[in-house]
Amino acid sequence: MWLFLLVPAAIEIGLVFWPALNSFYLSLTKWNGLGAPEQVGLDNYRDLFSDDVFREALGNNVIWAVGFGGLSVAGGLALAVALNKPRRGVGIYRSAIYLPMVFSLAVTGLFWRVQYQPDGTVNTLLGAVGLESLERQWLADPKTALYAVLVAAVWRQVGYVMVLYLAGLKGTDPSLDDASAVDGAGPWQRFWYVTWPQLRGVNTVVFAVTVIDSLRTFDIVWAMTQGGPYHSSELLSTYMFQQGFTFLNLGYASAVAVVIFALAILFIITYLVRTLKEEVA
C-alpha cells in the first residue's frame, strides 16, 4: 500500500516541490539562464524593496486582492442567494452568469479591451445616459487602468463563486430556515443567523480559491494592459514575468516569486488556523 503512495509522492516532489525549492535558491543568485548562477546572497531582496515598480506592484496586489476578493465574493453570494430558490427560468440566469467563466482570462481581457476603447461600449453607454463627463480612456489612464481590469476579472469570477455558494446553499437544512421563519425571523436575520453559519465549509474553499486566484492573476492584466501605462496596473505576477522572461533577470524574478509565495502561504495559513480554532471551539 505504501508503494502505491510512493508514485504520486515522487511526482509531487519532482514536479512541484523541487521547482519550488529551486526558485528559493535562484532568488539568492544573479542568473540570466546561461551558465552558472552567481551567488549574491540577499541582494535581490534588498533591491526589491528599493524598487519603485515592485512597491507599486505590491500595493496594486493589495488593491487587487481586496477588490477582486471582496467584489467577487459579495457578488457571487448575493447572486447565489437570489437564484437559490427554484422558479421558472432560474437555470437560464444561472447559466448566463456562469457563462463568462468558460472563457479563458485572455479572451475575457480581449473582450473587455474592446469595450474600454475610447469609442467603445462603456463610453458610448455613459454618453447615452448623459454622463459624458465620466467618459475616459479606461485602460490608458493610470488612475483607472487597474480598476478597469479588476471589473473585467470580477465579471468573470463572480459566476464561479456563485456556483460554489449555490452548492453550499443546497447543503443547508431548509427546515431550519422554515422553522426560524415560523418563529418570526426576518429574511436578513434568517440569512445571517441561520444560513450563513452553515456555509462555513464553503467559505473556507471560497477564501482559498479567491486568495490564490487573486495572487496568481496574470493573463487578464497581460492581455489588457501588460502592466501599463507605465507600470500603473503592474501586479507582482506581471512584474515577475517581465523581469524573468523579458529582461532575463531570473534571480530577481525568483525573488518576486518567493514574495508571492510567502504572501499566499501567510494568508492561507492565517485563515486556516483561525477557521480551525473556531471549529474546535
Which residues of this protein are in contact with another protein, per CB under 8 A?
A: 12, 15-17, 19-20, 22-23, 32-34, 52, 116-119, 137-140, 142, 204-205, 208-209, 212, 215-216, 226, 228-231, 237, 240-242, 244-250, 254, 257, 260-261, 264-265, 268-269, 271-272, 275-276, 279-280
In the complex with another protein, the residue whose CB is nearer, 170 or 216, is: 216
Helices (DSSP H) in 30-120: which residue ranges? 43-49, 52-82, 90-98, 105-115
CA nearest 255: which of 24, 36, 35? 24
CB of 193 to another protein, least distance (A): 23
CB of 101 to another protein, least distance (A): 18
What ranges make up the beta strands (E) of the chain?
Answer: 29-30, 38-39
In the complex with another protein, the residue whose CB is nearer, 98 or 271, is: 271
In the complex with another protein, the residue whose CB is nearer, 162 or 257, is: 257
Residue count of the chain, please give it: 281
CB of 10 to another protein, least distance (A): 15
In the complex with another protein, the residue whose CB is nearer, 99 or 167, is: 167
CB of 267 to another protein, least distance (A): 9
Read off the amino acid at residue 24: F
In the complex with another protein, the residue whose CB is nearer, 164 or 215, is: 215
Is the bond into 229 cis (omega within 30 degrees of 0)? yes
All cell numbers assigned to 273: 488556523
CB of 16 to another protein, least distance (A): 4
Helices (DSSP H) in the chain: which residue ranges? 2-12, 18-26, 43-49, 52-82, 90-98, 105-115, 121-128, 145-170, 174-182, 187-189, 196-198, 200-216, 219-224, 236-241, 250-280
